Amino acid sequence: MPDYQHHWKDGTPVHLPLGKIVCIGRNYAEHAKELNNPVPDEPLLFIKPATSAVHVTRPLHLPPGQGDVHYETELAVLIGRPLTHASASEAETAILGYGLALDLTLRDVQSRLKEKGQPWERAKAFDGACPLSPFVSADKLPRGNIHFTLHIDGQPRQAGDTRDMLNPIVPLIAHISSQFSLMPGDVVLTGTPKGVGPLAPGQTLSLELEDLLFVETKVV
Ligand code: ZN
């Protein structure tokens, strides 16, 4: 049974419920290219349910018999205020914290769904599909570019810089709120940089956000 609860980096709970995790596909041009996808002309949005969230430090269990499970390392934004048709400044003040997430994806399943023009939930929404790190208070992050990395077994695999996003964080959040409301405790995943790939049992994943957050997890 899912029992996820948001936490701050110091271990104290964030007293907000996780309602939904809103994700954007293809927000980094280099990643769209590596999967032979066109860059969308408006943000490609999808939602992972609250039941997909797990603490990233828990061992990762891969769903059996469904083909490749890809990691996608993404900057996660914790929303602290309700947002409906928000302006950029309202969106910016609603950002409570930043963390890191893995947008785990059943890539073979997703490829079949894409071919048929069907929604991605079967590939993106399974229990455990969204490992989330603790959050760092938004005021601790640099005002300009934010940098994050993924290493697997010590090898660099992904490096993200928010300046490379096709839809930067604040306009993205404002745009999402023009389509549906965001609530306190919701999380926005801001897309993955290039370097995605399949996970295998025994791997150790190390995720780092600036010099503010470092988390490790293992694939079982
Ligand atoms: Zn993603």
Q: What is the pLDDT of residue 143?
A: 85
* Residues in the chain with pLDDT values less than 70: 1
Number of domains in the chain: 1
- The CATH number linked to 91 is 3.90.850.10
Domain that holds residue 41: 20-218
Residues with CB under 5 A from ligand 1 (ion): 72, 103, 192
Q: How far is the CA of 106 from the centre of ligand 1 (A)?
A: 11
Q: pLDDT tens-digit profile of 62-77?
A: 999 999 999 999 999 9
Would you say residue 2 lies in a domain? no
Would you say residue 14 lies in a domain? no
Q: How far is the CA of 72 from the centre of ligand 1 (A)?
A: 6
Would you say residue 157 lies in a domain? yes
Would you say residue 1 lies in a domain? no
Give the separation between CA 57 and CA 205, rounded to whole angstroms: 10
Q: How far is the CA of 190 from the centre of ligand 1 (A)?
A: 8
Would you say residue 119 lies in a domain? yes
Letter for the amino acid at 110? Q
Q: pLDDT tens-digit profile of 141-151?
A: 998 899 999 99
Q: How far is the CA of 81 from the centre of ligand 1 (A)?
A: 23
Would you say residue 6 lies in a domain? no
Strand partners, 22: 47, 188
Q: How far is the CA of 25 from the centre of ligand 1 (A)?
A: 6
Strand partners, 130: 53
Would you say residue 140 lies in a domain? yes
Evaluate if pTM is beyond 0.85.
Answer: yes
